[in-house]
Amino acid sequence: MSKIFYDHLIDLTDVEKAVKKHIKNPEAREEIYHLIDEIVHHRVVGCILDNLPEHHHEEFIDHVTKRPHDEGILEFLRERVVNDLETFLKEEVYLLSAELMALVSEGTRPVKKLQSKKN
């Protein structure tokens, strides 16, 4: 997995543990990790765009697309976003990790068969 400018702001350790606990197939586990990375990325970028003035969106997206590892992106954001974006992103990813853990746990529960009523 490649490094992204916001990696140091997120902690998905509990999500990773839940996936390891509930998903035994290594290929399925890797697929889930990939999906989680995509979900986190979309949530982070969405939160940033929600807080970044619209006239900076194109420049931000261009920078992230060309150099997603560049920690200078955070400096760019600090100069253009009024709120404490780093704290906001940490909180948002924390909430997202709880949602993901619930999905992982829920998705591995046995499905109860519906019993049809005899007429």
pLDDT in tens, the chain (119 residues): 568 999 998 999 999 999 999 889 999 999 999 999 999 999 999 999 999 999 999 999 999 999 999 989 999 999 999 888 889 999 999 999 999 988 887 765 544 444 444 44
How much is the pLDDT for 107? 63
How much is the pLDDT for 119? 46
How much is the pLDDT for 69? 94
Q: Residue 111: exposed, middle, or buried by beta-carbon count in 10 A (0-12, 13-18, 19+)?
A: exposed
